[in-house]
Structure 1
Amino acid sequence: MIRAFTATDTDAVMQAWHKASALAHPFLSNDLIAKADALIRNTFLPMAETAVLEQDGQVMGFIALLGHQVGGLFLDPAYHGRGLGKALMDHAAQSHPVLELEVFRDNTIGRRFYATYGFEELEEKIDGFSGLPVLHLRYAQD
């Protein structure tokens, strides 16, 4: 079931983020992960329109939107390959016919997912937070 995020989901969402990020972002330093954790937990989650995917009361993943910008899509790796990430993206696309996001250039897992979903690359730039290259992607429904 996909439902709206509540503050009581914060720890479960962050746990899913840590597990997925460890898999998709092995190139990030522990210091950067700690800084990102605080920023996501204290700033982005409270301001984003976030939906969680849960089963039997357990949060498995989430998608966070800032308008039509996907700020984050993370799924606990134990649930990868089941169409659940697509379900979260479909949920976002229902209310936003155009979606944009940035993904680390070295995140091959995320890049593969977004390409399969239909996102197209607009540009490559340097992320101001991490100093690493990111790709700006866009999805527009037909």
Structure 2
Amino acid sequence: MEVKQVTKKHYKELIEVWESSVRATHHFLPEENILELRPLILQYYFDAVELRCITLNKEIAGFIGVADSNVEMLFVSPSYFGEGIGSRLMEYAISSLGALKVDVNEQNPQAIGFYEKMGFKRTGRSELDGQGNPFPLIHMVRNGA
């Protein structure tokens, strides 16, 4: 699975992957928060990170965004769950983008387990997410960091 560079022309497809993945995995997130986040991600967040993706069957199967050694976003299309896309993107982010840290929603235990399998350890917790909402975050750092 080849990891590819992302450009602005991919943003529309990325946001579709983001939304379908969030709806499949972030059951704790109310609809209003998803609708609030969508334009912010498109307008600001995609430009603030190093973005990479994997395409399968001529569509983006998953993508990752890293800034300042922190994994800011990792989303896989639900049609490709369980196919190693997330692991491949993380391996690339660690080896090529210097990813050492990640914040994970506490209400998403599958994601926490995934990052633990990728060599990350819990180092702390915040009561609020990055937008100040009451969705606690687990702070994780990669072994050896």
Question: How many pairs align?
Answer: 142
Q: Which runs of 5+ in 2 are unaligned?
A: none
Q: Relative to 1, partners in 2 of residues 1:98 and 1:72: Cα closer, same or farther, differing over 3 Å?
A: closer
Q: 2: distance between equivalents of 1:31 and 1:98?
A: 30
Q: TM-score, structure 2 length as denominator?
A: 0.91
2:93–2:99: 8 Å Cα contact kept in structure 1? no
- Which residue in 1 is equivalent to 2:24? 23
**Aligned-residue identity in percent:** 25
The Cα of 1:97 is off from its aligned counterpart by: 4.7
- Which residue in 1 is equivalent to 2:86? 85
- Which residue in 2 is equivalent to 1:131? 134
- Which residue in 1 is equivalent to 2:66? 65
- Which residue in 2 is equivalent to 1:8? 9
Q: Relative to 1, partners in 2 of residues 1:78 and 1:141: Cα closer, same or farther, differing over 3 Å?
A: farther
The Cα of 1:141 is off from its aligned counterpart by: 5.1
Q: Which residue identity does 2:19 align to in structure 1?
A: H
- Which residue in 2 is equivalent to 1:52? 53
Q: Which residue identity does 1:92 align to in structure 2?
A: A
Q: Which residue identity does 2:143 align to in structure 1?
A: A
What are the superposed Cα offsets for residues 5-58 of structure 1, whole Å, 9 maximum, x if unpaired?
111111111111111111211111111111111111110101210001112421
Q: 2: distance between equivalents of 1:101 and 1:128?
A: 12
2:125–2:139: 8 Å Cα contact kept in structure 1? yes
Q: TM-score, structure 1 length as denominator?
A: 0.93
The Cα of 1:90 is off from its aligned counterpart by: 0.6
Q: 2: distance between equivalents of 1:120 and 1:36?
A: 27
Q: 2: distance between equivalents of 1:74 and 1:135?
A: 17
Matches within 5 A, 1:107-126: 107-126=108-127
Q: 2: distance between equivalents of 1:64 and 1:128?
A: 16
Q: Secondary structure at the match of 2:100?
A: strand
RMSD between superposed Cα atoms in Å: 1.5
